[in-house]
């Protein structure tokens, strides 16, 4: 029963990641044209930072309860699926490069964050004991 309990955070965090992507990035789909003709977007920096900070709260929750695999795999899967569906209408075909970068970046970032959180929790418990 214990291994199953450790797998439940995977779909939960994947779902949270999908919902947070939609909340922070899903509604802004147009690029802004600057006066000099250059384009920016479709996301502003504050949207991406907001997504990262809210995801960090979910990753912290899972990692502090020793659901590290769930945090890493679930968050990575959710963000990868969200990026795929959000960007798949790109006619250049380069959206898969971006999706791959989201997948690798979220995998590395959540693994590092989980390692730091787990280490801090372990060291915090040793100090109190």
- Write down the pLDDT at residue 125: 56
Question: What is the model's pTM?
Answer: 0.85
Residue span of the structural domain in which 105 resides: 2-128
pLDDT tens sequence across 70-129: 999 999 999 999 999 998 888 887 899 999 999 999 999 999 999 999 888 777 654 343
Question: Which of 126, 114, 104, 98 minimizes the C-alpha distance to 13?
Answer: 114
- Helix residue spans in 8-94 (DSSP H): 9-24, 45-64, 68-87
Q: Taking CA 1 as the corner, what is the angle to CA 66 and CA 56, rounded to the nearest 5 degrees? A: 25
- Write down the pLDDT at residue 119: 86
The structure tokens listed for 27 are: 């509604």
Q: Which helix (H) or strand (E) holds 129?
A: none
pLDDT tens sequence across 39-72: 777 888 899 999 999 999 999 999 988 899 999 9
């Amino acid at each position: 029963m214990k291994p199953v309990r450790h797998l439940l955070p995977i779909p939960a965090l994947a779902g949270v990641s999908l919902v947070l992507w939609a909340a922070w990035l899903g509604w802004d789909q147009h690029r802004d044209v600057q006066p000099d003709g250059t384009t920016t977007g479709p996301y502003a920096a504050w949207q991406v930072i907001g997504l990262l900070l809210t995801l960090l709260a979910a990753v912290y929750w899972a990692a502090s309860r020793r659901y590290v695999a769930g945090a890493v795999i679930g968050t990575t899967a959710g963000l990868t699926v969200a990026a795929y569906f959000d960007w798949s209408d790109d006619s250049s075909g380069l959206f898969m490069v971006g999706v791959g970068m989201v997948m690798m970046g979220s995998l590395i970032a959540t693994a590092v964050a989980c390692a730091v959180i787990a280490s801090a929790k372990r060291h915090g418990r040793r100090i109190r004991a």
